[in-house]
Structures are given as structure tokens and as C-alpha cells.
């Protein structure tokens, strides 16, 4: 499901400049960087075999949900997203960290680069792996779309940096739609979530400070989200709701926030059904 094809990545790079112009997302830059032109070529995530460590919100608790059995061990080609670790990948694919290290000639402690291509040998399963942190900050959940037909964490993270979001991606989670080498319904966590930072996804109502931002890849003015995206969104909403005790009335589409002048996330996201 998360196969990496070289032609897909060539396509991804060709699309990169296009995406910069398309400016995926729906919020104006709220945390303009002093160097908004800085590209992400050099940013890296640490590759460790240890679970996520304590952040501002405390030590992470890891919630894992099996999504798909692969029907026998198989080799997966995976592109490293922002802040992914060998530990996380080992949980995602039900493979030991050691076998990922040896298949990729890595050693514990080696850095992973965003966009790095890894072989995952003998993957047995695809799972959602979600970190949650004790943090009383989160009172709402706001759902967005990227307003682009294609996308993945790397491309949208870069595009948000180019738009002046100092910490990159303005959301906390992204749900992929199966384009650009990612799985349909794959949930990606972003640095903002792992560092428990306020969002840059909904200025109206002070929501950046109190709402978890989830975005789905797609433009739901023109197309429906995929069934896998909806299933993943339902899982993520229910996980976050129960962990943070967020009432259903506090789960909003971006357009539902008083003062938000946007159509995001389009008219084809069946929000009432999800609630």
C-alpha cells in the first residue's frame, strides 16, 4: 500500500514547484519566519529505536491500530516523512527495528532524512501509530482539506514553510489519499504535534491555541474523500476525542468556526455522519 515507485518520486519533485504556487492549506501565514525562503533540504529527524521521549506535553503514549494485514511478509518501500523514526516504522509495519537497520545499512542513532527511501523487509501489517500527550491545551478539533488533489507530508510541509510558517506544516495530522507514494488513508503526524505546539491552521476564534488541526489531502469542493480517508478520520477523531474529553460539539469543520472566512474543507466531507 505504501509502495515507493521511483517514477512516483520523480513526479513528486516535478509537482513540488507547482504545489508551492498552489499553496496547499487554507490559513494565512501566522508565524512568519525571518527566513521564509529557507528550504527544507537539510532538515532531518533522528532515527532511533527508542519510543518517543518526553515533550512539552509530557511523555507520549502510543496508540496503535491495525489497519490492514498484508497476507504474508512482503517488502515495502517507504519514504521517510517529517519526524518519523525507525521505532515508529517498526510499529507501523510490524517489523523489528533491527531488521530495518540491517536492510538499510543503518545503525541505531543514525539520522534519517525527510524523503529518504527505506526498505522495510518482511512487513506483515499496516498500522496507524498515533502519539498522544497529556496536554490540557486541546479543547477542539478542526477538520480541513489541503485543497489540492495530490499531496503528502513532505510536499505540504515544504509548501507551508515557503508560505512563511516557521515550523512548517500548520496542521497536526494529515490523512493521505494514496497519491505521491503514500497509502490511501495513511495518517501522518507532524512536528507540531510531536512537539505539542500550537497550530497555524485556524486563526479565527483563537483556535490555533486550543484546537488540534487535522487535514485530509484532497479538494472536497470537487471530489469526495476516499472511504479509507473517512475511516482513518473516524478513528483519529474518536481516539483524540476520548483521550482529551472533547465533546462532539467541539469537532468542527474549518468553515464552521465563527469568523473563519473559508469554504474549507469543501461541501463533500460528510461531517455530520462522522460525528
In terms of CB distance, is 118 or 264 closer to Zn ion? Answer: 264
Separation of alpha carbons 143 and 201, rounded Å: 10
**Residues 74, 153: contact at Cβ < 8 Å?**
no
In terms of CB distance, is 182 or 254 closer to Zn ion? Answer: 254
Question: Per rule CB under 5 A, is residue 160 in the interface with Zn ion?
Answer: no
The region of 23-31, 80-88, 171-179, 182-190 touching Zn ion under the rule CB under 5 A is 23-31
Question: Per rule CB under 5 A, is residue 147 in the interface with Zn ion?
Answer: no
CB of 260 to Zn ion, least distance (A): 8
Separation of alpha carbons 219 and 149, rounded Å: 6
Question: Per rule CB under 5 A, is residue 143 in the interface with Zn ion?
Answer: no
CB of 203 to Zn ion, least distance (A): 11
Question: Given candidates 91, 128, 144, 192, which one binds Zn ion under the rule CB under 5 A?
Answer: 144
Of residues 235-274, those binding Zn ion (CB under 5 A): 254, 264
Separation of alpha carbons 96 and 102, rounded Å: 10
Question: Per rule CB under 5 A, is residue 172 in the interface with Zn ion?
Answer: no
CB of 128 to Zn ion, least distance (A): 22
CB of 264 to Zn ion, least distance (A): 3
Question: Where are any strands of DSSP class E within 88-231?
Answer: 111-113, 117-132, 140-145, 173-177, 184-189, 211-216
How would you classify residue 164: left for phi > 0, otherwise alpha for psi between -120 and 50, otherwise beta? left
Write the CA distances from 162 to 157, 171, 200, 201, integer angstroms: 9, 15, 14, 15
**Residues 125, 66: contact at Cβ < 8 Å?**
yes
CB of 197 to Zn ion, least distance (A): 18
* Dihedral sign computed on CA atoms, order 17, 104, 100, 121: positive
In terms of CB distance, is 24 or 52 closer to Zn ion? Answer: 24
Residues at the site binding Zn ion, with contacts judged by CB under 5 A:
26, 144, 254, 264
Amino acid at each position: 500500500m505504501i509502495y515507493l515507485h521511483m517514477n512516483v518520486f520523480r513526479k513528486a519533485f516535478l509537482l513540488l514547484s507547482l504545489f508551492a504556487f498552489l499553496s496547499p492549506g487554507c490559513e494565512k501565514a501566522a508565524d512568519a519566519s525571518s527566513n521564509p525562503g529557507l528550504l527544507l533540504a537539510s532538515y532531518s529527524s533522528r532515527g532511533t529505536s527508542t519510543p518517543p521521549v518526553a515533550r512539552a506535553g509530557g511523555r507520549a503514549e502510543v496508540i496503535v491500530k491495525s489497519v490492514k494485514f498484508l497476507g504474508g511478509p512482503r517488502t515495502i518501500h517507504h519514504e521517510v516523512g517529517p519526524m518519523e523514526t525507525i521505532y515508529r516504522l517498526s510499529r507501523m509495519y510490524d517489523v523489528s527495528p533491527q531488521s530495518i537497520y540491517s536492510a538499510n545499512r543503518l545503525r541505531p542513532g543514525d539520522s534519517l532524512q525527510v524523503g529518504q527511501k527505506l526498505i522495510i523487509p518482511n512487513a506483515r501489517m499496516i498500522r496507524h501509530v498515533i502519539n498522544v500527550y497529556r496536554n490540557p491545551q486541546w479543547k477542539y478539533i478542526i477538520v480541513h482539506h489541503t485543497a489540492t488533489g495530490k499531496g503528502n507530508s513532505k510536499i505540504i510541509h515544504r509548501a507551508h514553510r515557503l508560505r512563511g510558517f516557521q515550523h512548517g506544516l500548520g496542521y497536526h495530522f494529515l490523512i493521505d489519499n494514496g497519491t505521491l507514494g503514500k497509502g490511501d488513508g495513511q495518517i501522518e503526524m507532524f512536528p507540531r504535534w510531536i512537539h505539542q505546539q500550537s497550530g497555524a491552521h485556524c486563526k479565527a476564534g483563537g483556535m490555533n491555541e486550543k484546537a488540534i488541526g487535522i487535514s485530509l489531502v484532497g479538494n472536497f469542493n470537487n471530489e469526495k474523500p476516499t472511504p479509507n480517508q473517512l475511516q482513518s478520520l473516524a478513528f483519529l477523531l474518536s481516539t483524540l476525542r476520548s483521550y482529551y474529553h472533547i465533546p462532539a460539539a467541539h469537532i468542527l469543520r474549518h468553515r464552521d468556526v465563527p469568523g473563519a472566512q473559508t469554504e474549507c474543507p469543501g461541501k463533500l466531507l460528510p461531517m455530520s455522519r462522522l460525528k
